[in-house]
């Protein structure tokens, strides 16, 4: 498998390196959120079954044939169609999930068919017991269908709105901080519009030893550092 | 370079990639009236990859890094995706890929055939001698249904009395749902170390052999054999092919050889899929024959002739179709 765990990480983030030398972060989805997605899909499929059965039962033999064939197609190919077209079934989309190959590329028709045919085995003996066991035993939460198709179910990344840095006079930060710590300062400044005044003060007061200031003045001080770091003097 | 200068210099390029990706992520139908510069995508993507690496390396603000990461992820998805030509692929699949992949994996097909045929012949033979044997294979009610379906005075063979009024279309739909489902399941159970597939093949062999033997022994030969002759070639072979695909999967689980087990399974699944899809198509055609032809009022001689012709055609197809294309076997 290509998506290897980063060294010693116990969380559910997997990294994959692309041919361009870029590391992609893939956040794996666990059994519970996938079960919810499946339940939503079942509901949608139930409505589809009911609609098709309701409409075509008035059309005699041909109608029954249409019902049976649609039931067959929905049972086996409902997930395939959605996964190939948009990467996720409506249920998965609602839960913010997407199915991809273990190398980060979008799922292909072949892989989608494999993982969805093998549902028949994952479902055994009832309600995906085998699939759940497989997910718990495998490193990347893969049910048997995922293992055979080489696919992962991951969280769809949501684009983050970038807040504007709060205005403050530029001021160089103390010299003894290393780059990662400087980065934390920028991150705090960018997150600040989402935090309450009290919380900003609370967080800034932990850096009292750096800023040498108390309360709101400390917050202001960090904004100044962030401005210096991103914009210069 | 300070972050702000960096952003100012490249923002236009990021926006260009972003709008292009927005357009490409739309479905084919909505995309039609958009002008896309596909040839720009690789260039833009590699530029942004470079910027992303720089932004990470220079410890720019995490949200900027995240924003570039998003662009890289989306670009990666669009650049490395496959599109189009599905009709051509379907045709080459039927003409070349399916028969040649069956020939490549002939040994699995032979094993699956034996697993199906040996129990069928054995149980069928015994059921012809001992007319009670069938009751140990299927339930009493099922035996009654079977006998009713193929009674010589049933002018709609293959259907019980209550179903005899059903239209051919309905039975066509039923055969599709039932038979293709069985085929797919036979394959899927292979992931359970092949046990599921082996069991399904033997079980189907026992039941079909038992029923055929029993109906022959009670003398319903004319209705039964004329009914099944038309679709038997495609239906039975397709189920065995699904079994072969399941056995491949099981082989990958049990004996990965020089590969890691997970890689062996992935490889076998990919190789087995053409067999399953091809068998699905065969079962579709078989359902058509079974629904509209097998129960028709054609004279039995014609039905037998068509049945034999289909067997011969199918065997010729698997032996010769796709030979020599791309140097495949």
pLDDT in tens, A32-69: 999 999 999 999 999 999 999 999 888 877 888 899 99
d(CA A140, CA A99): 13
Pick A233 or B149 by higher pLDDT: B149
**Quick one: pLDDT at residue A5?**
42
Q: Do B266 and A61 touch (CB under 8 A)?
A: no
Residues B66 and B99 in one domain: no
d(CA B152, CA B212): 15
Domain boundary among B79, B101, B116: B79
Instruction: Write the ipTM.
Output: 0.77
Residues B142 and B75 in one domain: no
Residues B58 and B105 in one domain: no
Residues B116 and B190 in one domain: yes
Residues B60 and B126 in one domain: no
Q: Does A185 touch chain B (CB under 8 A)?
A: no
Residues B289 and B226 in one domain: yes
Q: Do B70 and A159 touch (CB under 8 A)?
A: yes
The distance of B264 to chain A (nearest Cα, Å) reads 9
Domain boundary among B29, B57, B79: B79
Percent of residues in chain A assigned helix, strand, coil, to nearest 5? 55, 10, 35
Q: Do A64 and B53 touch (CB under 8 A)?
A: no
Percent of chain A with pLDDT over 70: 91
List pLDDT tens digits, range A111-147.
Answer: 999 999 999 999 888 888 999 999 998 888 999 999 9
Residues B267 and B187 in one domain: yes
In chain B, the number of structural domains is: 2
List pLDDT tens digits, range B271-293.
Answer: 999 999 999 999 999 999 988 88
d(CA A190, CA A202): 16
d(CA B120, CA B124): 6
CA end-to-end distance (rounded Å), chain B: 60
Contact status, residue A28 vs residue A140, Cβ threshold 8 Å? yes
- Selecting from A68, A163, A187 the residue whose C-beta is nearest the C-beta of B173 gives A68
Contact status, residue B126 vs residue B213, Cβ threshold 8 Å? yes
**Quick one: pLDDT at residue B20?**
85
Residues B218 and B247 in one domain: yes
Residues B74 and B94 in one domain: no
For residue B141, pLDDT over 70 is answered with yes
Residues B7 and B137 in one domain: no
Question: Shortest CA distance to B18 belongs to which of B55, B66, B54, B70?
Answer: B70
Contact status, residue B112 vs residue B199, Cβ threshold 8 Å? no
Q: Does B216 touch chain A (CB under 8 A)?
A: no
Q: Does B189 touch chain A (CB under 8 A)?
A: yes
Q: Does B90 touch chain A (CB under 8 A)?
A: no
B199 HSE (CA, 13 A, CB side)? 10
For residue A180, pLDDT over 80 is answered with no
Q: Do A117 and B276 touch (CB under 8 A)?
A: yes
Residue A53 has a CB neighbour count (10 Å cut-off) of 16
Q: Do A162 and B64 touch (CB under 8 A)?
A: yes
**If DSSP states are collapsed to H, E and C, what string results for A89-125?**
CHHHHHCCEEEEECCCCECCHHHHHHHHHCHHHHCCC
Percent of residues in chain B assigned helix, strand, coil, to nearest 5? 80, 0, 20
**Beta pairing class for A151-155 and A97-101:** antiparallel
Helix (H, G, I), strand (E, B) or coil at A140: coil
Domain boundary among B36, B62, B79: B79
Identify the residue among A64, A117, A145 best suited for mutation to test binding to B, counting B beta carbons within 10 A and taking the highest.
Answer: A117
Q: Do B196 and A121 touch (CB under 8 A)?
A: yes
pLDDT band at B36 (very low <50, low <70, confident <90, very high): low
Contact status, residue A201 vs residue A219, Cβ threshold 8 Å? yes
The interface residues of chain A toward chain B in range 203-232, judged by CB-CB distance below 8 A, are 229-232
Name the residue range of residue B39's domain: 3-79
d(CA A114, CA B187): 10
Residues B14 and B115 in one domain: no
List pLDDT tens digits, range B215-255.
Answer: 888 888 888 888 888 899 999 999 999 999 999 999 999 99
Residues B75 and B101 in one domain: no
């Amino acid at each position: 498998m290509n998506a290897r765990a980063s060294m010693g990480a116990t969380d559910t983030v997997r990294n994959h390196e692309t041919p361009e030398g870029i590391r992609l972060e893939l956040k794996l989805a666990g059994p519970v959120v996938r079960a919810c997605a499946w339940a939503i899909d079942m509901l949608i499929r139930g409505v589809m079954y009911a609609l098709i059965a309701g409409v075509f039962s008035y059309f005699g033999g041909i109608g029954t044939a249409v019902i049976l064939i649609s039931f067959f197609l929905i049972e086996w190919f409902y997930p395939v169609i959605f996964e190939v077209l948009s990467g996720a079934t409506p249920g998965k989309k609602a839960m913010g999930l997407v199915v991809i190959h273990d190398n980060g590329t979008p799922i292909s028709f072949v892989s989608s068919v494999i993982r969805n045919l093998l549902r028949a085995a994952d479902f055994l003996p009832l309600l995906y017991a085998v699939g759940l066991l497989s997910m718990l035993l495998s490193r990347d939460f893969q049910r048997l269908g995922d293992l055979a198709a080489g696919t992962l179910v991951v969280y769809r990344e949501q684009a983050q709105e970038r807040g504007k840095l709060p205005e403050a006079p530029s001021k160089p930060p103390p010299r003894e901080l290393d780059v990662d710590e400087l980065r934390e300062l920028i991150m705090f400044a960018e997150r600040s519009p989402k935090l309450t005044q009290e919380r900003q003060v609370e967080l800034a007061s932990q850096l009292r030893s750096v800023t040498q200031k108390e309360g709101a003045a400390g917050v202001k001080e960090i904004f100044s550092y962030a401005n210096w770091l991103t914009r210069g003097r | 370079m300070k972050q702000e200068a960096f952003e100012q210099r490249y923002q236009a390029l990021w926006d260009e990639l972003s709008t292009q990706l927005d357009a490409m992520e739309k479905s084919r139908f909505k995309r039609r009236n958009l002008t896309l510069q596909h040839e720009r995508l690789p260039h833009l993507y590699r530029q942004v990859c470079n910027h992303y690496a720089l932004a990470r390396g220079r410890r720019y603000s995490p949200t900027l890094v995240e924003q570039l990461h998003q662009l890289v992820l989306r670009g990666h998805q669009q650049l490395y995706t496959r599109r189009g030509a599905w009709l051509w692929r379907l045709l080459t699949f039927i003409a070349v890929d399916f028969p040649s992949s069956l020939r490549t994996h002939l040994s699995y097909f032979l094993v699956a055939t034996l697993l199906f045929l040996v129990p069928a012949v054995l149980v069928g033979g015994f059921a012809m001698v001992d007319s009670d044997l069938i009751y140990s294979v299927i339930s009493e009610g099922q035996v009654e249904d079977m006998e009713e379906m193929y009674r010589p005075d049933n002018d709609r063979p293959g259907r019980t009395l209550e179903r005899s009024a059903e239209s051919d279309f309905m039975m066509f739909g039923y055969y599709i749902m039932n038979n293709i489902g069985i085929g797919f399941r036979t394959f899927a159970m292979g992931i359970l170390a092949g046990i599921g597939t082996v069991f399904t093949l033997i079980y189907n062999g026992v039941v079909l052999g038992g029923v055929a033997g029993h109906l022959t022994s009670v003398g319903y030969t004319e209705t039964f054999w004329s009914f099944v002759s038309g679709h038997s070639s495609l239906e039975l072979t397709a189920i065995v092919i699904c079994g072969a695909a399941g056995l491949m999967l099981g082989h990958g689980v049990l004996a990965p050889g020089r590969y890691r087990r997970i890689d062996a399974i992935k490889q076998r699944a990919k190789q087995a899929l053409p067999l399953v899809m091809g068998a699905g198509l065969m079962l579709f055609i078989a359902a058509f024959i079974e629904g509209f032809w097998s129960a028709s009022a054609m004279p039995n001689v014609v039905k037998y002739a068509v049945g034999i012709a289909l067997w011969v055609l199918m065997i010729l197809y698997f032996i010769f179709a796709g030979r020599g294309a791309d140097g495949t076997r």
